[in-house]
Chains A and B, each alone.
Chain A
Amino acid sequence: MDGNASAPRFPLPSEIADAPGAEGWRSMYPYFTRFQPDDDKRFWFYNSMHFPEPMPAFDTITAEVPYSAIGANTARVFVFPTTLGIEHRIVNGRVYITANPVTDPDEIGRRAAVFGERAGYYYENWDTLYQGWKMRIKGLIDEITSITVPELPEFDDAAVVTESRGVAQNHYVRENFHRCIDLFSVMWHHHTEFLMLGYGAYVVFFQFCKQAFPEISDQAVARMVAGIDVIMYRPDDELRQLARLAVEAGVADLFTEGCSPQAVLAALAERGEGGQRWLSAFERARDPWFNVSTGDGFYHHHRSWADDLTVPFAALPRYVAQVRDGLLADRPTEALRAERDRIASSYRDLLSSEEERAAFDQMLGLCRVVFPYVEDHKFYCEHWFTSQFFARIREFGALLARSGVLAEAEDVFQLHHTEVDQALSDVMLAWAAGAPPVGASHWRPIVAERKRILEALRGWSPPPALGPVPEALNDPAVHMLWGVTQTTIEAWLRPSSDVVRGVGASSGIVEGPARVLTDVNQIGEIRDGEILVCPVTAPSWAPVFGKIRAAVSDIGGSMSHAAIVAREYGMPAVVGTGDATKRISTGQLVRVDGDRGIVQVIG
């Protein structure tokens, strides 16, 4: 018997059969996302960190644009010596990726010269450049927020004539839609402008620590670097303030478990000065702090708190009760800062020479310079900007629905952005011609079919990886961003029945009943004391962390935002397990060991 035949391996891309009932999935995605015959020779892994669900056609823009931007920055702009960009493919609705290394020493040398100059410039001027970045990104947010969808009334605005604008409204349907897509691309170029450099500084410090202290945990390194005033905590902090105000203003009784946001807001309007005070504080908090996606900004249906108040209003009753009982504490920022500095100086003291201490100081210092970007960019990019982006696209969807091309606004997300472009042309032409658009009979059956296919795709279990097992996988960026290492790959190859292995991202051991959530919309199901098991831990779920005892995710590294939030809450977290959501069922008793990165089903 051939020994190799029985060695565990991943399926090749070409061996993946269409998910039953989802045979038409290819029509939903652009041709360049399909696996090619040569792709069988390379190792691919399922990017369930960013794409834990099947991709609706429009949402593929959240793969296409980011990979276009990150590769441009690493391969072409900063010219990283040993790595190019990331390629992505879609099969059965799931996004698989692979990183392209540079291995030829001459090429590395040629790239290194350019890289040194360009990356050096950014590191040298980081603070100034980052301040400029924040201005630019806020400009982009302002612009995406202010884009309007033309009304297409019977007669165009008189100003077109009186100001002799010369351009009718239907033109702006396309121009404004294109501007949304263009801004999304510009935002992602900004997002990835600092990303690899920021993580690079961290990786270097991380590897130094691992060499000096071979048994240091990933999270101990992260804790030395972590910022204290991280903007991602702000939405949750705002909720705490609102809970305090509810008690102070005498309207706390309205916040009960399971309350409807609309009912509470309506009742507050009837509650005199206290109610008004709360409502105006609420409006101030809402913009911008509720522009936080309930996911990670990669799916249109991960609505923001601002669009769907259910999430913040699910957290408020608990915070209000804590205020009443005198239990709601602010984040102890001074204590956190002191603890961070104590950990760093303790490790520093344990180094064996002054020379190492001086190098440690430089590396840690640089990490702390770059980390405000690493920690805060997600709020500006994936949350604030992207929430507004999807809201604008939804408004174009409303135009298509008003015109009869689509049955409802939300259906726009079943079309690829180039298809939306076509449908909008149809509407522009129809308005100009004075005839109904012809798209209804074209697009509505396609939308219905795609919704059916997406449902069928949900039932498919994507293998964690495809293609030949690599001999070495030591790309620290893949490790840092995706939590994928040689060990992860080994675990994917040899799943054991009752032990799920991942990256210990926050220490401690607890036991409790599991609550497996595959979709962000289910978070209302979580009960106190449960252990959250989810495909990807999203920091904007912060309110949930007040209820759960531990967090487990399929994908994520020690720097994923969930890991940060879990450490903040002092609860165990195991991330990057690959398939915890498949192997654990709601109600099973599990033990989460955040030190060793192990989740065990114990009953």
Chain B
Amino acid sequence: MQRFTCGTAGVGAADAARAGGKAAALGELARAGLPVPRGFVITAGAFLLHMDEADPGGAARGALGSLAADDLDGIAGAAAALRARVTAVGLPPDVASEVASACAAFGAGPVAVRSSATLEDSAEASFAGLQDTYLAVRGTDAVLDRVRACWASLYNDGSVAYRRRQGIGEDGLAMGVVVQRMLNPRSAGVMFTRSPVTGDRSVVAIEGTWGLGSALVGGEVTPDSFTVSKVTGEITGRRVSVKLRVHSFTPNGQGISASPMAFPLRRTPCLTDDEARALALIGRQVEDHYGAPQDIEWALLGDSPGHPALHADLADRIVLLQSRPETVWAARDREPIASPQAKASDHVLARFRRAL
């Protein structure tokens, strides 16, 4: 009987407290039939069990929680000490054996090990990017190492400082971990199911670059951007940028490497129009599933950059890595643009009374 792990679809939106926000969101996508990488989730219970050993009684965590938000030195010192404990203590044996057998199901291929904090990615507070993700991890031992590293990253200086500023306590905080098949995408990026610029809900705004999305998320490349109408599929905006660098993972090594992008592809759009439209369609499905605009990470599988796979069905090449509610525009109220009038023609009469 599995106590600490389950398949991706074993959790759903309601399980953020048990598995962390990222895992819950991925599980929800999987349950909705949307494409996510094959993988499994290490639940927050494993973290808590580990912390019983690393920080018995929660004394270190309590101390961290009592620091002032502007005591950055204090935070840095206490957080580093706690991280060191988390990575120094061996994994609880039950957790280690469950994770090892889940890893075995993947065979020898590389995996991504991703943090999934229990407060992360809620609609109210975006924790994006504060905890660690490890790409192209190979071998069970390395995975077990990275699981602890993910847990430790809950106490990254930035995360702790963020919680102090937001007044979020350390009590009851936990961390799930998502382990999934490492993708070697042709292109990857993010999409918003409304315009981040204008708030327009009728379009999907896509940003992408060649290779892994980490180059884009990390700000190393200026992504290409596409705006696709949800309603008509028209591409109403397209900006192709010069993509100087690409992140990829080497087939045999650990981790990923950043390298200069091959010249001919620097100015080539990383998506065809059909691919952009297919992404937008999936984005819309995610939005419909959640009933609100989403901020989605995606990857597009294919052959090497510039040589899209010709035979695979386009929809089968898209994989979603994350989806969280869009928070910026959702928080803004606006006055109705127009209200119904006594007669339809009153709209026109009123318009032509104003100077144009």
Contact = CB atoms under 8 A, between A and B. Distances in A.
Interface string A427-438: 000000000000
B229 A124 contact: no
A507 B232 contact: yes
A353 B336 contact: yes
A365 B236 contact: no
A213 B354 contact: no
Nearest to A196: B352
A119 B352 contact: yes
Interface string B328-353: 00000010111111011101110111
Size class of the B contact interface (CB-based, 8 Å):
35 or more
Contacts of A33: none
B220 interface: no
Interface stretch (B3-11, B161-169, B200-208, B245-253): B200-208
A81 interface: yes
A82 B352 CA distance: 7
B323 interface: no
A577 to B, nearest CB: 19
A476 B229 CA distance: 24
B333 to A, nearest CB: 9
A48 B77 CA distance: 74
Nearest to A104: B355
A359 B338 CA distance: 6
Contacts of B124: none
B44 to A, nearest CB: 36
A368 to B, nearest CB: 10
Contacts of A119: 345, 348-349, 352
B195 A214 contact: yes
Given A204-B348, A220-B234, A359-B339, A213 B202 contact: yes
B348 A82 contact: no
B352 to A, nearest CB: 6
Interface stretch (A256-264, A277-285, A342-350, A543-551): A342-350
A115 interface: yes
A217 B234 contact: yes
Contacts of B128: none
Given A356-B336, A359-B338, A474 B356 contact: yes
Interface of B: 195, 198-203, 227, 229-232, 234-238, 273, 334, 336-341, 343-345, 347-349, 351-356
Interface of A: 80-83, 101, 103, 105, 108, 112, 115-116, 119-120, 123-124, 197, 200-201, 203-204, 207-208, 211-217, 219-220, 223, 343, 346-347, 350, 352-353, 355-356, 358-363, 365-366, 474-476, 507, 509, 595-596
28 contacts: A82-B353, A82-B354, A82-B356, A101-B356, A112-B353, A115-B352, A115-B353, A116-B353, A120-B345, A123-B343, A124-B343, A201-B348, A213-B201, A214-B195, A215-B195, A215-B202, A216-B229, A217-B236, A223-B232, A352-B336, A355-B339, A356-B336, A359-B338, A359-B340, A359-B341, A362-B340, A595-B234, A595-B236
